[in-house]
A and B are shown apart, each in its own frame.
Chain A
Amino acid sequence: MVEFAMHNAWLVPLLPALSFLIIIFLTKPWKKLSALVCVAGMVLSCVIATLAAYGVFTNHEFTEKPLVYSVRWFSMAGLNIDVGVQLDPTSAMMMFMVTLVASLIFIYATGYMEGDPGYSVFFSYLSLFGASMLLLVVSSNLLQMFVAWELVGLCSYLLIGFYSHKISAREAAKKAFITCRVADFGLLLGLLSLQIVFGTLNLTELAEKISHFEQYTTMGILTLIALLVFAGPIGKSGQFPLHVWLPDAMEGPTPVSALIHAATMVVAGVYLVGRTLFLFHEVPTAMELVAVTGGFTALFAASIAITQREIKRILAYSTVSQIGYMMLALGLGSLTASMFHLWTHAFFKALMFLCAGSVLHALHHKADVWEMGGLIKKMPITGWTFVVGGLAIAGVPPFAGFWSKDEILLAAFDTGHYVLFGMAALTAFMTAFYMWRLIFLALFGDEKPENHPHESPLNMTLPLIALAVLSAVGGLVGTPWAPFWQEWIFFGHPHHADPNYLIMIGSVVLALAGIYLAYNLYCADKTRAKAHALAERYRFFWTVSYNKYYIDEIYLWFNHTFIDGAARLFYLFDIYVVDGVFVNGIAAITRLSGEGLRVTQTGRLQNYALVFFLGVLAVAVVLAFTDPSTAAGLTGGVK
């Protein structure tokens, strides 16, 4: 079984793809059947992925030499592109995580989407997304990965705009697609440069060649390539300054937010950088950039999340912030910490999104946390699983987030990046604060009489419980005392850091301080007067944060001023130069010359004969008074 799964890992992306086709072409009219096909495809693929991951994680060979099955996709002179499946601990972990979370979310979605007119279509999109994401995960070739990358982007677009009757959903879908397109252009250029310079896009061959890149290219060009490649993750993983699409993407149905915009797709950028870490590793500048981008994004997004009011928007900024953490870890060269945080984050963020979905489901899509309150009494399962998620993300031991966040802080500290360490620590404090602000506002406190919440059905609460369990214990695979994770997923050599109790205790203190502050401001004080007073006192900061640093407005202004201005300029150019000078000008020349030449067309036969004989004379003279070869040249080969 395990052998079979390992050698046939291509089935993992194939099964959801088949579900997609079956739903689209066969079962679309039957909603329940469509959902069943979708869930069955993903669960089966989860079984295979689990078996394959088990195989990988019991054989240490694969940490050195990945298992690659590939076939030639197309080839021409100087360009050979393979398509294949690459199994190593990182991809096996990712495959397992994606199929597991996706299976749970698909099950959840069967309840959440109940009664939606586009039920079957929704599940077909989900299947397509699952297939694309898994294809991305198992890719052995960067071009293949790029194709999958674009496919998940497409699914993201389709699913954000799923409620296409809402203008905001359509706008958000377009925004996501276009923003990612900007970034993907950079990624594409980077991949093309890699192909040109190294002549291959296969991950294993590239890793081999880049380790002695001096034979192929210079440091400068490699830096450029790394920066271009990094453009893709900046867009896809919502890093500053291209994070703007991610909060708007919450217009999509909540399972989509949980699956695509929290657990899987948005971390594809992190995964890509992780897969190509051999490239970034050679370029210290790029590594610095990745680390600084990640660190800054983490802090930046956390500072926005503090003042937001919509439940999913808070979670979205939290996602941006947590992905910033992962990028930071990658930039510090720690694939271990980054992937670890990716792993734990997938569980607790998916959990919290699903809880938020459950809440929205109960409150008929009333999203403002200030209008919630006391939900935990009416919705105990949702509420308490949310609390587990909150503990995990805040970094309270022994929940999952604590271990992975600790790993990142340790990596920053050990590599001597004290500023980044400080930023990460501050972010940890803020994360605990804003997440517990959300929890206290929504779940505790007084119930609002106008709300009539009710607990969600079983097919929604079961995935919540499963994810809550995973959020609670998912981090235990990589504790400092039992560093199972660190032995399997690493870049270069496994890194065993001694447990640093100072940092550990420090981060716990920060988390608890954040939670306590949130408790003080939003739970203990029923009137929330202190919170309002604080907002009033730091009015400027509050406004800036609440308006997300006006990034959207700046982009809009930029768009209106420069792009529209350039468009106006080009419009004038088009009207007066292209149309005026070229099109109409050429037409006018033609017409004028035609009118001039028309006079020569007298219609009199003898006139024509005269001209004809002049021509005969000319040809005869040429033929008679030049030597034969010249004459032949002049008359076009006539001898």
Chain B
Amino acid sequence: MIDFTLTLLNSISWVAVAFHTLAAVVCISALLVVLVRNIVHAVLWLAVCFVSLAGVFMTLDAAFIAAVQILVYAGAVCIMVVFAIMLIRRGNMGETNLFNKQVWAGGGVAVLVTVLGGFLSFRIRYAGSAPAVPENTVDHIATLLLSKYVIPFEVAALLLLVALVGAIFLAKEVKADADS
């Protein structure tokens, strides 16, 4: 019995188990983001979704991206969204995440896009099993980012700066006498 259990446990691909579990969590939490009626709850489910996506990235041997995912998305983005919600808060938070009038049309288009994407993904042919992934991916990414991709890297940095300045400018309080 123990042997059988051990055999069974050995035969299980734990990566596959992790992927399927995480994928289920991702899908369910993403659905909940869309479906719950309270926007704050939606953001919480979004955080769940992002964290589990970080797990999915781990199964793809992308440890660095997973870390960035948790830092940027689950951390920064979610916090920022919550702050924004706080700033624009209204009385009844239970009615803050409703659907508009084109819910059926939008749903139809979304389903069609999903089906098409899924269908097309089966057309991809590749060499069966995954090739070996090098150790220490972070090293490689760092080297590449500061050598071959240094210009996009710097441009991205500039973009962030611009976005920062722009966001401050847009969100800045308008002086009372300035708008009349």
A→B interface (CB under 8 Å):
606-607, 610, 613-614, 616-617, 620-621, 624
One of A606, A607, A617 near B113 (C-beta < 8 A): A617
Residues on the A chain within 8 Å of B102, using CB: 606-607, 610
Nearest chain B residue, comparing its CB with the CB of A611: B109
Residues on the A chain within 8 Å of B6, using CB: none
CB distance from B158 to the nearest CB of A (A): 28
CB distance from A628 to the nearest CB of B (A): 13
B116 near A614 with CB under 8 A, answer: no
Nearest chain B residue, comparing its CB with the CB of A607: B102
Q: In the bound complex, what is the Cα–Cα distance between A616 and B117 (angstroms)?
A: 12
A620 near B116 with CB under 8 A, answer: yes
Which residues 96-154 of B have a CB within 8 angstroms of A? 100, 102, 105-106, 109, 112-113, 116, 120, 123
Residues on the B chain within 8 Å of A616, using CB: 113
CB distance from A616 to the nearest CB of B (A): 8
B105 near A610 with CB under 8 A, answer: yes
Residues on the B chain within 8 Å of A607, using CB: 102
Q: In the bound complex, what is the Cα–Cα distance between A606 and B102 (angstroms)?
A: 9
B113 near A613 with CB under 8 A, answer: yes
**4 residue pairs, one from A and one from B, having the closest CB atoms:** A613-B109, A617-B112, A624-B120, A610-B106
One of A606, A614, A617, A624 near B100 (C-beta < 8 A): A606
Q: In the bound complex, what is the Cα–Cα distance between A447 and B109 (angstroms)?
A: 112
Show 15 residue pairs from A and B whose CB-CB distance is below 8 angstroms, ordered by the A residue. A606-B100, A606-B106, A607-B102, A610-B106, A613-B113, A614-B109, A616-B113, A617-B109, A617-B112, A617-B113, A617-B116, A620-B116, A620-B120, A624-B116, A624-B123
CB distance from B112 to the nearest CB of A (A): 6
Nearest chain B residue, comparing its CB with the CB of A614: B109
Given contacts A610-B105, A610-B109, A614-B109, contact A621 B100 (CB under 8 A): no
Q: In the bound complex, what is the Cα–Cα distance between A620 and B105 (angstroms)?
A: 19
Q: In the bound complex, what is the Cα–Cα distance between A127 and B50 (angstroms)?
A: 99
Nearest chain A residue, comparing its CB with the CB of B112: A617
Residues on the B chain within 8 Å of A624, using CB: 116, 120, 123
Q: In the bound complex, what is the Cα–Cα distance between A376 and B70 (angstroms)?
A: 129
Q: Dominant SS at the A interface?
A: helix
Residues on the A chain within 8 Å of B120, using CB: 620, 624
CB distance from A598 to the nearest CB of B (A): 19
CB distance from B85 to the nearest CB of A (A): 20
Residues on the B chain within 8 Å of A614, using CB: 109
Apart from A620-B116, A624-B123, 18 more pairs, CB < 8 Å: A606-B100, A606-B102, A606-B106, A607-B102, A610-B102, A610-B106, A613-B109, A613-B113, A614-B109, A616-B113, A617-B109, A617-B112, A617-B113, A617-B116, A620-B120, A621-B116, A624-B116, A624-B120
Nearest chain A residue, comparing its CB with the CB of B120: A624
Residues on the A chain within 8 Å of B113, using CB: 613, 616-617
CB distance from B6 to the nearest CB of A (A): 47
Nearest chain A residue, comparing its CB with the CB of B110: A613
Residues on the B chain within 8 Å of A617, using CB: 109, 112-113, 116
Residues on the A chain within 8 Å of B123, using CB: 624
Q: In the bound complex, what is the Cα–Cα distance between A607 and B102 (angstroms)?
A: 8
Residues on the A chain within 8 Å of B109, using CB: 610, 613-614, 617
Q: In the bound complex, what is the Cα–Cα distance between A610 and B104 (angstroms)?
A: 11
Residues on the A chain within 8 Å of B112, using CB: 617
Residues on the B chain within 8 Å of A621, using CB: 116
Q: In the bound complex, what is the Cα–Cα distance between A620 and B118 (angstroms)?
A: 13
Q: In the bound complex, what is the Cα–Cα distance between A620 and B123 (angstroms)?
A: 14
Q: In the bound complex, what is the Cα–Cα distance between A616 and B109 (angstroms)?
A: 10
CB distance from B121 to the nearest CB of A (A): 11
Residues on the A chain within 8 Å of B106, using CB: 606, 610
Q: In the bound complex, what is the Cα–Cα distance between A606 and B110 (angstroms)?
A: 13
Residues on the B chain within 8 Å of A620, using CB: 116, 120
Residues on the A chain within 8 Å of B105, using CB: 610
CB distance from B113 to the nearest CB of A (A): 6
Q: In the bound complex, what is the Cα–Cα distance between A69 and B109 (angstroms)?
A: 85
Residues on the A chain within 8 Å of B100, using CB: 606
CB distance from A163 to the nearest CB of B (A): 74
CB distance from A196 to the nearest CB of B (A): 65
Nearest chain A residue, comparing its CB with the CB of B119: A624
Q: In the bound complex, what is the Cα–Cα distance between A620 and B119 (angstroms)?
A: 12
Which residues 13-50 of B have a CB within 8 angstroms of A? none
Residues on the B chain within 8 Å of A610, using CB: 102, 105-106, 109
Nearest chain B residue, comparing its CB with the CB of A613: B109
CB distance from B108 to the nearest CB of A (A): 9
Nearest chain A residue, comparing its CB with the CB of B105: A610
Q: In the bound complex, what is the Cα–Cα distance between A585 and B107 (angstroms)?
A: 42
Q: In the bound complex, what is the Cα–Cα distance between A621 and B119 (angstroms)?
A: 11
Q: In the bound complex, what is the Cα–Cα distance between A617 and B117 (angstroms)?
A: 10
CB distance from B104 to the nearest CB of A (A): 11
CB distance from B74 to the nearest CB of A (A): 26
Q: In the bound complex, what is the Cα–Cα distance between A617 and B120 (angstroms)?
A: 12
CB distance from B167 to the nearest CB of A (A): 20
CB distance from A346 to the nearest CB of B (A): 93
Q: In the bound complex, what is the Cα–Cα distance between A610 and B106 (angstroms)?
A: 6
CB distance from B41 to the nearest CB of A (A): 22
Nearest chain A residue, comparing its CB with the CB of B116: A620
Q: In the bound complex, what is the Cα–Cα distance between A607 and B105 (angstroms)?
A: 10
Q: In the bound complex, what is the Cα–Cα distance between A268 and B116 (angstroms)?
A: 86
Q: In the bound complex, what is the Cα–Cα distance between A624 and B120 (angstroms)?
A: 8
CB distance from B14 to the nearest CB of A (A): 35
Q: In the bound complex, what is the Cα–Cα distance between A613 and B109 (angstroms)?
A: 7
Q: In the bound complex, what is the Cα–Cα distance between A624 and B112 (angstroms)?
A: 14
CB distance from A613 to the nearest CB of B (A): 5
Q: In the bound complex, what is the Cα–Cα distance between A616 and B102 (angstroms)?
A: 18
CB distance from B48 to the nearest CB of A (A): 25
Q: In the bound complex, what is the Cα–Cα distance between A607 and B100 (angstroms)?
A: 10
Q: In the bound complex, what is the Cα–Cα distance between A614 and B102 (angstroms)?
A: 14
Q: In the bound complex, what is the Cα–Cα distance between A620 and B116 (angstroms)?
A: 8
Q: In the bound complex, what is the Cα–Cα distance between A621 and B120 (angstroms)?
A: 10
Q: In the bound complex, what is the Cα–Cα distance between A617 and B113 (angstroms)?
A: 7
